[in-house]
Structures are given as structure tokens and as C-alpha cells.
Amino acid sequence: MGEFKPMDAGISPRYAQISTFMRLPHSRDIKNYDVAIIGVPYDGGTSYRPGTRFGPREIRSHSSLIRGYSYYSKSDLFSRLRIADYGDIDASPYNIELTYKLIEDTIESILNENVFPVVIGGDHSISLGILRAVAKKYGPVGLVQFDAHSDTYDGVYGTEYHHGTPFKRAIEEGLIDPSRSLQIGIRGQFVSSTDLDYALQSGMKILMMDDINKKGISDVIKNIEGLGKEPVYVSLDIDAVDPAFAPGTGTPVPGGFDSREIIQLVRSLKPLNVVGFDLVEVSPPYDNNGITSLLASNLIYEFLNTVSLEKKS
């Protein structure tokens, strides 16, 4: 096994050894790597069904099925990028603000090494901590958010922070530029007719699922490509996918993307200047034979194999 390569499945079976992402090396000495995979096993921001704290572990487990060479891109991921599994941030199960601080400090340290962070959640509240670190380096960034929900809602139950608030708080804190932000796949029922007002009034563009069904995936891709070359953060909530293909999530909403469509959309990110990525809301207790974790691990692979990152010299 090379220093930057997964274990050889011809020597060590894929179900053996410590379960790192794609069986890659586990390391916190990441200065020689291009990408760090970071788990955030946290679901203290969940409003209904908990369980996403187990997401990073199960996604890693199912990622052992993935191989490095992509027929689609005609490239070998491990020849192109040096990737380490950083392990998990020890999020506090009791204190969301402490968790945000732990996330921010860890991601900041990774970015300071010029290493690209790929974060596995956890519920969607964790995106705020990541964006705080990203904005320190890049200033306000654009956003591509794949999601059934806008997550620009207000606080409830006496707290300003939960998995429905991260992008409202991010706008308020100046972490993202709403004029360069897309929310893709929003659908379902709302509490009231004003639920999307904050996002729309701030300048975010929302691509509702009903409109996507009429205009097609090609229209979504045009909107993504229209974000240009300024820094963009990508957040993928697995509930953007229809629960027929991803049942293991906390707030499933029928009528979403199928597996093939979401893979196509992740591949469409290639022209963008992406500076950070998270995949959140995989909840294994509600999964069916691991199909959600398997899809999630493949989406992370597709992202890594698509995004334009410069390999360290």
C-alpha cells in the first residue's frame, strides 16, 4: 500500500481492517495531503428524528465498495489526489455552540494547510461551523445547496441554532453571498406561506422541485454553471433525494431527485471554484439495507472525482 493509496483489496478484503473512507489512510498529519475527509457525528440540531450522529460511521463502512477509477471521467482518483481520512470531530452531544467552535477550529486548521475539507455529517446544523472557517479564508462565498428544505428558518425551542437555521445564520453573519447562492430541490409542505420569504428577500435563488420537473435537469446545470469562478461552498443534504432512493434521513420528503439525477448534478459542479463540501442528514437508524449510506458514499466519491482541485507539488 502506498502512503496515499487505499489498502489493496487483493491483499486485504474490503470488509477487513479499520473502516476509513474508501479504506484510505487515517491521518491528522495532513500537510502532505490534498483532501481531508472529516466526520462530524452530531445530531443535536435535529428537530424530529435523531440518528445522523451515526452517519459518518456508516458512510465510511459502505464506501469500502467504491473503486478508484471512474469510467465517466476516465481518471483514477488516487492518481490525481492525495486523500486522508482525518477521522471525526468530537462534537458535544449536549452543546451546539461548543460543537460549532470545535468544527470551526478544526476546519480552519485544515484550510490553513491548504487542504480541501470534505465533511460528513451529522445534521445540517454543522454547515454553519464549517462556513465560519471557510469565510475566514475566502470571505463571503457562494452557495450550492441541494436540499428539500431551505434551512433559512428562525430559531425554535429557545435556541437560535438547529438544522433548519444554518443558512439564515450564515447570511446574517456575512459568511455567504446570497446573490451567488442556489437552493436546489426545495419541495413539500411548509409551516406557512412565508417560509421562503427570508431566502428570497436576501437574494438567494430557489429552484423548486416542481419547476425542475418541468424544465429538466439541464436547466439546473445551467444555473449552477452561471455561478462563475468565484469561491463557492457546496452543501448536499441527502433529503434532496427522494426517500425511495434515500430513506435513511431525518426529514424525508417525497418527490425528490433519483440517484442518477443527483449523481449527474454533483458531476455538473466541475466548472465551479469549490472551496468546501459537506454531505449531511444521513440517518442510518431509518435506512433500508444501507442504501442511503451507499448512495452518500458514492456522491462523495463523485464529488472528489469531479471537483477541480490542484494537487500539491
Residue 91 lies in a domain: yes
Provide the annotated binding site: 124, 147, 149, 151, 237, 239
* pLDDT over 70 percentage in the chain: 98
Per residue in 233-265, pLDDT tens? 999 999 999 999 999 999 999 999 999 999 999
Residue 8 lies in a domain: no
Residue 88 lies in a domain: yes
Residue 13 lies in a domain: no
Per residue in 63-122, pLDDT tens? 999 998 888 888 899 988 999 999 999 999 999 999 999 999 999 999 999 999 999 999
Task: Return the CATH number at 27.
Answer: 3.40.800.10
Give the count of beta carbons closer than 10 Å to the beta carbon of residue 23: 23
- How many Å separate Cα 177 from the centre of its chain? 18
Which of 129, 91, 61 has its CA nearest to residue 282?
61
pTM comes to 0.95
C-alpha cell at 85: 481520512
pLDDT bin (cut points 50, 70, 90) of residue 274 is very high
Range of the domain at 293: 21-306
State the residue for C-alpha cell 496515499.
4
Provide the annotated binding site for Mn(2+): 124, 147, 149, 151, 237, 239
Per residue in 179-220, pLDDT tens? 999 999 999 988 888 889 999 999 999 999 999 999 999 999
Q: How many domains does the chain have?
A: 1
